[in-house]
Amino acid sequence: MNVRRSAAVLAAVAVIGAATPAAADPSPSPSRAFPSALYGGTDPKFDGVWRQSLALLAQDTVGVKPAAKSVQWLARQQCADGGFASYRPDPTTACDAKTMLDTNATSAAVQALTALGGHEDVTRKAVGWLKSVQNKDGGWGYSPGGASDTNSTSIVIGALAAAGEKPDQVVKDGKSPYDALLKLALPCGGDDDGAFAFQPDKKGDLAPNADATAAGVLGSLGKGMLVEPGKKSDVTCEKAATPQQAAANGAGYLTAALAKDGDHLMSALAGAEPQPDFGNTADAVVALAARGDTAQAEKSVRWLEKNSASWAAQSGPAAYAQLIFAAHATGTNPRDFGGADLVKQLNATGPAPQTAEKTKAADEKEDSGSDFFGVWWYVGVCLVAGIGIGFLFTGRKKKQQP
């Protein structure tokens, strides 16, 4: 979704785990000073709206009706101009020039509230705000006016699409979001061909970034955090003259990167030993599934089933949501994810939902089994459908706003 608030972005503010704090408490304490409607037990300063949005979207995805106060809390985080900050401790206090608005949080909220329904005024104002802060190159940065990056541009695309907009028609100075993404795609012909960069470096060069690539694939496909399996078109890396080609190139890069390290991605934070990157692996699964790259998506989601439990328990609601999105994208049962019930675990990180019962549609989907290809033929899906975040959309900004 990435994103979305991605691991690479959160690492810049010493928050590990692709959109979630490294030491998140999966069981909120009743004595904490944070709002009772909020999911997760850690300080929401940098990710309150983000993790709430992912949690609510994931619940809706599996047929769970969230607690009314949790949905209301998210909607009330909006400022009068339509934008969302990462977190507003007191939503009764009006936003002012010092309120640091956040394109990623705004886009995640749009995707969640659109899915839940009944918040058209909120989402319409949010989309209007996003359009008002679009950069001249067609993209978005984490903060209004910030240089465009792949993660932020991609999660905004997901929000626009969820709200019924046509991203290619949202233009600034003749440039659409897809124009911005194409400029951030690495050319073919090298070891990292097909990848997306987060942003150009100070010299204008592009460095491959797996997190940004997962986000860029979804953005180029015009999809958000929640996807259905797409229809693959077998292509080799070629000059990315279209968003579809950029998505294909990015998917090729992700497939190779996942296979290289045993069907998962590795993190490489400065000064630290490389370690498995669970959040970005989940985002990569969603991106590959959206384009129909089923073979690697299946292998990687199986790896997550076997290895992600401790990470999710430590990281909290957004991590559980990312895994649910990956399960959904591959037709895997989120209530039996390597023996774990992701839905129950997510619900336990916040207020009890209005109902934890599965909808009939959810029952039918899960009764088809967790086999990817069984679900594929069962539902007859031949569409590329559309986080943040994990966008991956698990993702977010590299430089935290002050």
pLDDT tens digits along 298-318: 999 999 999 999 999 999 999
Task: Using pLDDT thresholds of 50, 70 and 90, give the confidence band for residue 32.
Answer: low
Task: Using pLDDT thresholds of 50, 70 and 90, give the confidence band for residue 269.
Answer: confident
Which residues are CB-neighbours of 210 under 8 A, at least 6 positions away?
195, 253, 254, 257, 265, 277, 280, 284
Q: How many whole angstroms from its chain centre is CA 366? A: 23
pTM: 0.83
Phi-psi region of 124 (alpha: psi -120 to 50; beta: other; left: phi over 0): alpha
Task: Using pLDDT thresholds of 50, 70 and 90, give the confidence band for residue 394.
Answer: very low
5: pLDDT strictly greater than 50:
no
Task: Using pLDDT thresholds of 50, 70 and 90, give the confidence band for residue 100.
Answer: very high
343: pLDDT strictly greater than 50:
yes
326: pLDDT strictly greater than 70:
yes
pLDDT at 57: 98
Distance CA 177, CA 219 (A): 9
Tally Cβ neighbours within 10 Å of residue 232.
Answer: 15
The H or E element that residue 10 is part of is helix 7-11
Structure tokens belonging to residue 193: 């061909």
Helix or strand or coil: residue 278? helix
Structure tokens belonging to residue 391: 């966008």
Per-residue pLDDT of 218-236, as tens digits, reads 999 999 999 988 777 666 7
Nearest to 388 by CA among 190, 140, 203: 140
Provide the percentage of residues in the chain whose pLDDT is more than 90.
73
pLDDT at 267: 87
396: pLDDT strictly greater than 70:
no
Distance CA 216, CA 197 (A): 9
Distance CA 170, CA 21 (A): 33
Torsion, Cα 352 21 329 231, to 10 degrees, reads 150
Q: State the amino acid at position 69 in one-letter form.
A: K
Per-residue pLDDT of 165-180, as tens digits, reads 999 999 999 999 999 9
Directed axis angle between helix 103-116 and helix 120-132, to 10°? 150
Average pLDDT of span 144-148: 96
